[in-house]
């Protein structure tokens, strides 16, 4: 299939076959959490994976609806990809009709010899570089492609491995880049539907192309991680309770502070004994 047909097919699939599970949920998140305002300039951050590439196509669709004026920059940071991985991102963007802006960094080299939490450090550094470049380009927001499954996995990971109740927020003000905001418009989209869209259109994207994993990037085997453990745990619980995923999500919408022993707000700890 040539590039023009790939672009047309993927766009038609968003409008028709996957309209309810992709486009409608994308639009719902934007409305529910007031993610976009008129005259925003948004850096749509593309890692080369399925989530961010779909997000780029959904933003293009939103732009075509022309409900209000806003600008888009499709921003790709190359943190030190192998040549074949960078080419895959460039080829996919060209085939899908996404006009990407690429800039480089040396993040992979910086974290390669870090022993503890290299993935956490890498993610923090990547976000900082994206904020910086986006602001340089005149953007006031960056958009990341985290989806519903990322949200509920983060909730459980925080509880089981971090000893805290927290979630991945749909939008955040940057603490280090004044006037910048992070938004997550894929917040209600399920990962299984993203995979179905990818496979339906015969697309192949990067998974994680860092120096730790790029050797097995095209292997069918998954890299073991805490997040994979959580995915498997949720899958097992779903066999008994089909509503478990939505219940995990709703748990952070229905926090009853009168039954919480202690909580933090703006760095200050509050205890139930304070008002007992």
Among 107-111, 134-138, 163-167, 187-191, the range scoring the smallest mean pLDDT is: 107-111
Report the C-alpha gap between 80 and 52 in whole angstroms. 18
| pTM confidence score | 0.88
Task: Give the pairing type, strands 71-78 and 100-104.
Answer: parallel
Q: Which residue has the tokens 């802006």?
A: 101
Residue 204, helix vs strand vs coil:
coil
Q: What is the pLDDT of residues 234-270, one digit of tens each?
A: 999 999 999 999 999 999 999 999 999 999 998 899 9
- Domains (range + CATH), the chain: 3-256 (3.40.50.620)
For CA atoms 54, 91, 139, 209, the dihedral sign is positive
DSSP state of 99: -
Helices (H), ranges, 241-276: 244-251
8 Å CB contact between 157 and 234 = no
Q: 159-194, pLDDT tens digit by residue? A: 999 999 999 999 999 999 999 999 999 999 999 999
């Amino acid at each position: 299939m040539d590039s023009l047909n790939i672009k047309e097919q993927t766009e038609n699939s968003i409008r028709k076959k996957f309209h309810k599970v992709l486009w409608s949920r994308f639009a719902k998140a934007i409305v529910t959490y007031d993610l976009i305002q008129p005259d925003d300039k948004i850096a749509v951050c593309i890692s080369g994976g399925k989530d961010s590439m779909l997000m780029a196509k959904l933003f293009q669709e939103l732009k075509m609806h022309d409900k209000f004026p806003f600008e888009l920059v499709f921003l790709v940071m190359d943190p030190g990809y192998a040549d074949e991985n960078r080419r895959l991102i460039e080829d996919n963007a060209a085939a899908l009709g996404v006009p990407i802006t690429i800039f480089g960094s040396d993040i992979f080299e910086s974290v390669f010899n870090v022993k503890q939490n290299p993935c956490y450090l890498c993610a923090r550094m990547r976000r900082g570089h994206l904020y910086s470049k986006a602001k340089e380009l005149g953007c006031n927001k960056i958009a990341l492609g985290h989806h519903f499954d990322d949200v509920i996995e983060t909730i459980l990971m925080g509880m089981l491995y971090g000893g805290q109740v927290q979630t991945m927020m749909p939008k955040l003000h940057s603490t280090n880049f004044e006037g910048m905001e992070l938004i997550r418009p894929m917040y209600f989209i399920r990962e299984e539907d993203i995979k179905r869209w990818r496979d339906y259109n015969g697309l192949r994207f990067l998974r994680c192309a860092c120096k730790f994993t790029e050797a097995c990037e095209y292997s069918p085997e998954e890299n073991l991680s805490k997040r994979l453990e959580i995915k498997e745990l949720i899958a097992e619980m779903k066999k008994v309770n089909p509503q478990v995923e939505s219940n995990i999500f709703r748990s952070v919408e229905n926090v009853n502070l009168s039954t919480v022993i202690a909580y933090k707000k703006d760095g200050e700890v509050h205890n139930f004994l304070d008002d007992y």
